[in-house]
Amino acid sequence: MEFGEIVSVLLQGAVVTIQIVAMALPLAVLMAFSFGLIRLYAPTPFKQIAIVYIEFFRGTSALIQLYWIYFVLPFFGITIDAMTAAVVALGLNIGAYGTEVVRGAIQSVPKGQYEASIALNFTSSQRLWRIIMPQALVNMIPPFGNLAIELVKATSLVSLITIGDLTFKAKMLADTTLQVGEIFGVVLLFYFVIAQFLVFFIRRLETHLSKGLGRGGLHS
């Protein structure tokens, strides 16, 4: 098989991989912020629910979670298509790790910022969203960047539920052409490029937020 044809087929798989990342990453961020804030500020029963979610998805295999959502849930009358199952499984898994990032970043904001906002008569909501969260966001970006890269690598699991992602296309080509070296060399390059694009975006976002923080916050 010509090298150009290999690249063309793998590019189709790379597009699917990017689509999964583009859908799973917002879900992961949503879960991270939702359960991170619940863990910090909600009444105890809701905190317990958050802890169960975090510990379950961090303490079990992402592959088994994917299998459960795609293969097991239909036995309970819940049928989900493969792409949705992939997005949900990866989003929930990465989101559980992100929850601790959110919690840690908020708790890392200097205590003086809390005290200053209280002295200025800010409400709890104003204190969180106008003072604490902007500073915490800057601390969240690097670890969230690492989780985004982990998400990209975890997308290779979806090939096991027959989604035509980059890994699935690579295995299919390798089985039919036996050109293993060329195929997986291109696959490595594709994954690297996707990861580097995310790194570039995250660094730009971090720089933007840091500049914004320099103009805000409370100084005591």
Q: Round to whole Å and give the CA distance between 64 and 58.
A: 12
pLDDT of residue 95: 96
Average pLDDT over all residues of the chain: 89
Apex 88 CA angle, 54 and 44, nearest 5: 30
Give the mean pLDDT per block of 10 residues along the chain (220 residues): 86 95 96 94 92 95 95 93 96 96 89 78 80 86 92 93 92 88 92 92 84 56
Residues 6+ apart with CB under 8 A from 126: 117
Q: Round to whole Å and give the CA distance between 64 and 114.
A: 42
pLDDT of residue 220: 43
- Contact status, residue 10 vs residue 183, Cβ threshold 8 Å: yes
pTM: 0.87
pLDDT of residue 49: 94
Residue owning tokens 């792409």:
83
Helix axes 133-154, 180-214, angle to 10 degrees: 180
Longest Cα–Cα distance of the chain, Å, equals 71
